[in-house]
Structure 1
Amino acid sequence: MQTRSERTRGKAASTEGGRRTRDRILHAAAELMFQQGVAGTSIPDVQRRARASASQIYHYFGDKKGLTAAVIEYQSTVKLEQQRPLLDHLDSIDALRAWCEGAAVRLDAVHCAGGCEIGSLASELSDVDPSARLGLATGFAAWQNAIESGLARMRERGDLEADEDVSALAVALLAAIQGGMLLSQVNRDATPYRRAVNVVIDHIADRVEAARGARLANP
């Protein structure tokens, strides 16, 4: 059951003005937490960036923990929606390569600074905030599901064997993406990211070739 303060915040944010104010605060908090970490971001920092009062921040989010939870959900949702056209069609080797290379190009553009918005939050919060960890796990699960759905369609078409573990392949690719981004961030070079994801995609391509060979051998 919602508390009285939670009901009040929800009602306020349902008005047009309330939504704009809440969104402005959330966007500012997301930027700051990505740039300087959650621990390094204070409520006064968010006030200044969002041009909002402390009472507005507490009204909409309750406290910094509530604001952080909202940022996690925001980053997970925004990043998925930004890439939705590609994520909805990850059902070929070419599509997987194009999607992953798009991220590499973005890394190049910022000289590999900052890393992944969700990955950065996970590195900082997973061991110190159980509720944040669950929110981050949900965000990563959405990415995994998008990859897995594309691979499952490949399996349904016969591009992959019927017993192919597409869940394991999706986890491997997501891990390569996150690990590759971290290594690229510390090296300021997107090469580790490209190598990591290409090894996994090459493996998936090999599985596609194996499935094709099996079909030819057993027409």
Structure 2
Amino acid sequence: MTAETSATRLTARGAKTRERIVTAAADLMYVRGVAATTLDDVLAASAVSKSQLYRHFANKDEIVRAVIELMGERVILREQNALGRVSTMAGLRRWRDALVQNNALRHGAYGCALGSFASEVADHDDVARRALLALFAEWKDLLAGAIRRLQENGALSADAPVDELAVGLLAAVQGGYLLAQTAHDVTPMASSIDMALTHIESLRPA
């Protein structure tokens, strides 16, 4: 075995260890919250040693940032798949139904991963805040793309403010997640998104 082969295998093994740490931390932080998840919790859940953890992360903040990156990839991929071809109000309402139904499986208990992280880390970790800001912007752009396709297909008036509508719809989603999390009931989430969609639909050409 050459030194190069050994180094490559070690790098691959290290990548798997890092992935295991981040995945375990993501699961814990999503359910318990960032503040309530300790490094000892992450060590136990990931089944790695303390030396392995510190080989990849200097502190908890670095783990949180890696978790945000992972959760962001999951959320954006989900939204790309759900919104990428939406071009009708019926399609937007199907997107709404999928969000609500998925959250109903947990009785709304855990909220949106990105929203939950934002509420916990944005005030004290500017690196994490900027990462979350970029992820929300990407989500907003996906919504704007769907709304713009409605406009191009004649379902919305030509002067409808696409970007503003996308921001409002994303705010309705995030507010709905928070209310559902508080109530352990997705009804408020469904209502808030419905109101945003009803407003968008009202902007159809006269």
Q: TM-score, normalised by structure 2?
A: 0.90
Deviation of the 1:137 alpha carbon: 0.8
Letter in 2 for 1:34: Y
Q: Could you tell me how far apart the structure 1 residues matched to 2:77 and 2:9 are?
A: 22
- Asked if 1:127 corresponds to 2:127, the answer is no
- Asked if 1:143 corresponds to 2:147, the answer is no
- Asked if 1:89 corresponds to 2:85, the answer is yes
Q: Return structure 1 stretches of 4+ with deviation > 6 angstroms.
A: 11-14
Q: Percent identity?
A: 37
Equivalence for 2:181: 185
Task: Pick the aligned partner of 2:152 from 152, 156, 178.
Answer: 156
Equivalence for 1:75: 71
Equivalence for 1:18: 14
Task: Pick the aligned partner of 1:34 from 30, 36, 42.
Answer: 30
Deviation of the 1:14 alpha carbon: 8.9
Letter in 2 for 1:194: A
**CA contact under 8 A between 1:100 and 1:197: conserved in structure 2?**
yes
Per-residue CA deviation, residues 102-158 of structure 1 (Å, 9 max, x unaligned), is: 111122211111111111111111222222111111111111011011112222233
Equivalence for 2:98: 102
Equivalence for 1:217: none
Residues 114/14 of structure 1: CA separation in 2 closer, same or farther (3 Å cut): farther
Q: Could you tell me how far apart the structure 2 residues matched to 1:166 and 1:57 are?
A: 45
Question: How many residue pairs get matched?
Answer: 200
**CA contact under 8 A between 1:13 and 1:19: conserved in structure 2?**
no
Q: Could you tell me how far apart the structure 1 residues matched to 2:123 and 2:41 are?
A: 24
Give unpaired runs (5+ residues) of structure 2. 1-6
Q: TM-score, normalised by structure 1?
A: 0.85
Deviation of the 1:87 alpha carbon: 2.0
- Superposed CA RMSD in Å reads 1.9
Q: Could you tell me how far apart the structure 2 residues matched to 1:189 and 1:41 are?
A: 25
Letter in 2 for 1:21: T
**CA contact under 8 A between 1:90 and 1:147: conserved in structure 2?**
no
Q: Could you tell me how far apart the structure 2 residues matched to 1:118 and 1:124 are?
A: 10
Q: Could you tell me how far apart the structure 2 residues matched to 1:149 and 1:83 are?
A: 12
Greater mean alpha carbon deviation, residues 76-85 or residues 170-179: 76-85
Where 1:15 maps in the other structure, the secondary structure is: helix
Give unpaired runs (5+ residues) of structure 1. 1-10, 214-219
- Asked if 1:165 corresponds to 2:165, the answer is no
**CA contact under 8 A between 2:156 and 2:201: conserved in structure 1?**
no
**CA contact under 8 A between 2:173 and 2:189: conserved in structure 1?**
yes
